[in-house]
Amino acid sequence: MDLVLETATMLSVFAAERLRRIEALRREELALIVGLGNGAIEVAERSIRLELSAAMRITEYAAGRLLLQADALVNRYSGALDALGKARITEKHAEILVDLLDPVMPELRADIVDRAVALAEAESVGTFRRRLRDLIGQVEAKTLEERYASAVADRRLAVEAGSDGMGLLLLHAPFVELQAIYGRAAAMAKAIKATEGETRTLDQIRADVVSDLLIDGTTAHVPATASGIRASVVVTVPALSLLNANAGTTGDAPVVEGVGPIPLSRARELCGGDAKWMRVLSHPETGMVLSVGREQYSPPPALRKLVKWRADRCMGPGCGMPASRCEVDHQVAWSRDDGETSLDNLAPLCKGHHTVKHHGGWDVQQIDGSGGAVEWTSPTGRRYVVAPERRVPTFRVGGGEGVLVRDRAGVHDAPF
């Protein structure tokens, strides 16, 4: 493993140097045509891309991507290029950083770059992509209402012909609804797959379920275990945002699991909807059951929801599987005398990571006092820490002076 990591380090160092040289090549070629007009610049850039692709034996598209990455990292994100050159991030981290930051308005981008590089240095590729998107969404939240109102007007349904009698049905709609549609289809497909004699794959069943619902409007012919399944979407909203009519441009934006930030007006609509929406406030109510100790193996529904809400994703290293689709695992096995069914001993794991945890020779423990961080120790002895997306706040009353809240910022007066 040390030899593999040594090679990976060299690849990052060489990737940074390659990008620096590509940008130097571009500048050198463009310097020859200064003052000749935009037409000459376009021809020169196409010529550079062509020679780069021919010399490296790659496609022109790939060569164009390299030129764009080199320009961005050398001229706009030098901190990321420096981190790549010192092997603190990988080339994939650098690509994601450029792809996600370049579309951001320049005046907002300046507030994100340093934090984006820090995230890249701390997180695996999948987690970095997700958290950078979240960070961008939070920064852009001030304009989210206006942008969402404009974008939602463009919703549409289209059909695209394929080959062999197949095709694609394309629904361009708010991502919250799309996530709910997919979640219901997936849950129904799993229930149908478990029936005796079923031979279709999950992908095939999901497609058939959606077709049945849209064409016939009913699932009466499917097993009873699947016909009653409804969509479930987790919406997390700062409590004060629901109460303050002017909170739309301040504070944290509401977040939908698997989707990201949404407009506050949409969040208020969802939080006032029916019971199929799970509503979680940023400051959970006191008195919630956090442990049943050794009394029972299966977590109570409220505890199970809290465990998944805190993690947001599978707690396997680098995994992006939404917690809603994961199994709840006891880090210390319940079969042991000290294995309790409590918040301090539970975490969501996707089926693959759950299997590896129990049968792959890994040791997995929740770190005491960490608020849910899980440490994975590999068979080679290396340790990897996975932190949850959120921490559960704790509350205490301080000497009759009111309510104090303990969270990441320390102990302070409650904002209510």
pLDDT, mean of residues 91-109:
92
Closest CA to 349 of 375, 330, 363, 368: 330
Task: State yes or no: pLDDT of 121 exceeds 90.
Answer: yes
pLDDT at 135 > cutoff 50:
yes
Question: Residue 235 corresponds to which amino acid?
Answer: V
* Orientation of helix 60-75 relative to helix 78-85, angle to 10°: 110
Query: What confidence tier does 245 reach under pLDDT thresholds 50, 70, 90?
Result: low
352 vs 221, higher pLDDT: 352
> What pLDDT score does 243 carry?
55
CA dist 190 and 140 (Å) reads: 37
Measured over the CA atoms of residue 110, residue 310, residue 369 and residue 122, the dihedral's sign is negative
Across residues 323-339, what is the average pLDDT? 83
Name the 3-class secondary structure at 162.
coil
In contact, 312 and 390? CB cutoff 8 Å: yes
List the one residue out of 134, 104, 105, 106 whose CA is nearest residue 119. Answer: 134
pLDDT at 108 over 60: yes
- Whether the pLDDT of residue 413 is over 50: the answer is no
Instruction: Return the axis-axis angle of helices 175-193 and 202-215, rounded to nearest 10°.
Output: 120
CB 253 within 8 A of CB 262: yes
pLDDT reported for residue 80: 96
pLDDT, tens digit (0-9, with 9 covering 90-100), for 362-385: 999 999 888 889 999 999 899 999
| Confidence label for 199 from pLDDT (cuts 50, 70 and 90) | very high
The rounded distance, in Å, linking the Cα atoms of 236 and 49 is 46
Alpha-carbon distance of 243 to 92, in angstroms, equals 42
Question: Per the structure block, which two tokens stand in for 264?
Answer: 């506050």
Please answer whether residues 338 and 330 qualify as being in contact, where contact means their C-beta atoms are separated by less than 8 angstroms.
no
* Confidence category of residue 390, pLDDT binned at 50, 70, 90: confident
Across 361-365, 384-388, 407-411, least confident range: 407-411
Q: Are 101 and 116 in contact (CB under 8 A)?
A: yes
172: part of which helix (H) or strand (E)?
strand 167-172
pTM: 0.62
User: Is residue 404 within 8 Å of 414, Cβ to Cβ?
Assistant: yes
At 411, list the tokens: 């102990």
Q: Which residue has the higher pLDDT, 215 or 83?
A: 83
